[in-house]
């Protein structure tokens, strides 16, 4: 497999200002280095085109399948005969283009430096097979991202419905108030189902701050034991989820100056990041920047966590606008929460958990696809792994330049 510079694989052309060709409803996209920025009445380049940064933000390359316009802060790369342009796009995506910047002011890349970039070049048939493999996994990634966004939208809408309408004995959402006014009543929290109450958080849970009185706080004698110790960042990183991982532990002396909370406790951040929540999956210790909420056993921990989470904007607004925002127990203990019967709480929690589980599976799949793509790009584009000839059916190169 040979090595060739970019100028032997593609023609790199300057973009132009789109002044005079812009039109909101025109058919040709106008590309900048960050993506599509408008539409043009006529194209500047025939597709497919690779859009490369020239000056300003030196972002990753973009790819346009169709005829388009490219602005003057970018280059357009058009493949030469015998080169699969999508294969070339993936190769350019692997390059650290920021390293080509030689400007002392506005970042910029010279065409000469771009043209000298070197690439391992297999046969056209193998190029085509590589681009097909990577495009397939890109499509999987795009589809999974769309599903995640859809689930997030569903989850937000469902949470609003669940906390304003609740569910009936069959686990179905009650009709909206506009359709069944007799099923609702006014309350301090607005309209809620007639069967619900409004209570203070302290009526249904023990609400206590964490504790860590060691001084100095970084004294190594307090750490390194068998007792899990989490900080605000651990809760934020596990926002809305069950937390079982920890990066720090306390020793026996550390344990003696801290406070433990049992599994099922809702951990709520009250400093810097306000009202981020997670649920302890194991017994843990934490400092006074986190509040532990131990819900009375008859109530659903997940339901109460969701109540607190939905109050995050309210609690955040109560935090003084100082160098570091914070709230305290006087903000959390009297917090008003809607309270259905425990059976209904658990039904609502189960609906939420089902949606969350599906969303989490999609996020895990997305991570797997992204890792897979990264590995494939390295192996296939560098020639570390070759595609056997019988898996690279002969292709007719498209007419290029």
Give tens-digit pLDDT for 375-392: 999 999 999 998 887 666
Residue 224, helix vs strand vs coil: strand
The DSSP H or E segment spanning 304 is helix 301-310
- Read off the pLDDT of each residue in 204-212 and give the average, rounded to a whole number: 97
Confidence grade of residue 105 (pLDDT, cut at 50, 70, 90):
confident
- Rounded to an integer, the average pLDDT of 223-240 is 96
Task: Say if residue 401's pLDDT is above 90.
Answer: no
What mean pLDDT comes out for the span 281-286?
98
Q: pLDDT class for 221, splitting at 50, 70, 90?
A: very high
What is the average pLDDT across 340-360?
Answer: 94
For residue range 292-316, what is the model confidence (pLDDT) as tens digits? 999 999 999 999 999 999 999 999 9
> 114 in helix, strand or coil?
helix
Q: Give this prediction's pTM.
A: 0.77
pLDDT of 399 above 60? no
Query: What is the mean pLDDT of the segment spanning 135-164?
Result: 93
Averaged pLDDT for residues 329-355: 95
Kindly state the average pLDDT of the residues 6-31. Answer: 96
**pLDDT confidence of residue 324:** 74
Q: Say yes or no to pLDDT of 287 above 80.
A: yes
Q: Residue 1 has what pLDDT?
A: 65
Digit-coded pLDDT (tens) for 71-84: 999 999 999 999 99
Mean pLDDT of 29-55: 95
pLDDT of residue 326: 87
Q: Judging by DSSP bridges, how do beta strands 10-14 and 69-70 pair with one another?
A: unpaired
Q: What string of DSSP letters covers 130-195?
A: HHHHHHHHHHHHHHHHHHHHHHHHHHHHHHHHHHHT-B-TTSPBPPPTTT-GGGEEEETTEEEETT
- Is 60 exceeded by the pLDDT of residue 232? yes
Dihedral sign from CA coordinates of 290, 294, 300, 301: positive
pLDDT of 397 reads 64
Whether 130 has a pLDDT exceeding 80, the answer reads yes
Give percent of the chain above pLDDT 90: 86
Quick one: pLDDT at residue 39? 97
Average pLDDT value for residue range 88-94: 97
- Give yes or no for residue 358 having a pLDDT over 70: yes
Integer angstrom CA distances of residue 251 from 220, 232, 234? 9, 20, 19
- Closest by Cα among 296, 217, 289, 295 to 257: 217
With a cut of 70, say whether residue 15 has pLDDT above it.
Answer: yes
Return the pLDDT at 400.
59
Q: Which domains does the chain have, with CATH numbers?
A: 2-120 (3.90.220.20), 122-173+342-401 (1.10.287.1120), 197-339 (3.90.220.20)
Inform me whether the pLDDT recorded for 179 exceeds 60. Answer: yes
Please determine, for residue 38, whether its predicted confidence score (pLDDT) is greater than 90.
yes
């Amino acid at each position: 497999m040979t090595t060739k510079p970019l100028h032997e694989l593609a023609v790199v052309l300057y973009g132009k200002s789109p002044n005079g060709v812009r039109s909101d409803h025109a058919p040709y996209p106008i590309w900048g280095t960050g993506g599509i920025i408008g539409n043009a009445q006529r194209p500047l380049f025939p597709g497919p085109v690779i859009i490369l940064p020239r000056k300003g933000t030196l972002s990753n390359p973009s790819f346009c399948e169709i005829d388009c316009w490219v602005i003057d802060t970018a280059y357009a790369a058009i493949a030469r005969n015998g080169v699969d342009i999508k294969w070339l796009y993936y190769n350019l995506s692997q390059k650290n283009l920021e390293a080509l910047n030689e400007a002392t002011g506005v970042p910029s890349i010279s065409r000469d430096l771009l043209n000298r970039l070197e690439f391992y070049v297999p046969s056209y048939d193998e190029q085509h097979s590589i681009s097909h493999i990577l495009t397939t996994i890109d499509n999987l990634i795009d589809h999974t991202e769309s599903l995640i966004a859809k689930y997030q939208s569903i989850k937000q809408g469902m949470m609003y419905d669940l906390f304003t309408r609740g569910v009936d004995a069959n686990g179905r959402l009650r009709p909206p108030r506009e359709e069944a006014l007799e099923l609702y009543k006014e309350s301090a929290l607005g309209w809620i189902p007639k069967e619900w109450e409004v209570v203070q958080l302290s009526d249904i849970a023990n609400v206590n701050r964490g504790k860590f009185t060691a001084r100095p706080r970084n004294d190594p004698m307090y750490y390194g034991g068998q007792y899990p110790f989490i900080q605000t960042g651990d809760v934020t990183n596990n926002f809305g989820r069950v937390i079982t991982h920890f990066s720090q532990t306390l020793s026996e002396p550390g344990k003696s100056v801290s406070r433990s909370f049992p599994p099922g406790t809702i951990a709520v951040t009250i400093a810097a990041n306000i009202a981020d929540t997670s649920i302890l999956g194991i017994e843990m210790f934490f400092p006074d920047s986190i509040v532990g909420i131990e819900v009375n056993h008859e109530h659903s921990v997940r339901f109460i966590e969701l109540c607190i989470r939905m109050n995050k904007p309210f609690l955040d607004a109560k935090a003084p606008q100082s160098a570091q925002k914070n709230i305290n127990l006087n903000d959390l203990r009297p917090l008003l929460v809607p309270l259905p019967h425990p059976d209904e709480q658990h039904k609502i929690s189960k609906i939420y958990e089902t949606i969350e589980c599906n969303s989490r599976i999609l996020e895990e799949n997305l991570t797997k696809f992204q890792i897979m793509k990264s590995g494939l790009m390295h192996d296939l584009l560098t020639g570390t792994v070759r595609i056997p000839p019988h898996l690279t059916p002969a292709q007719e190169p498209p007419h290029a330049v």
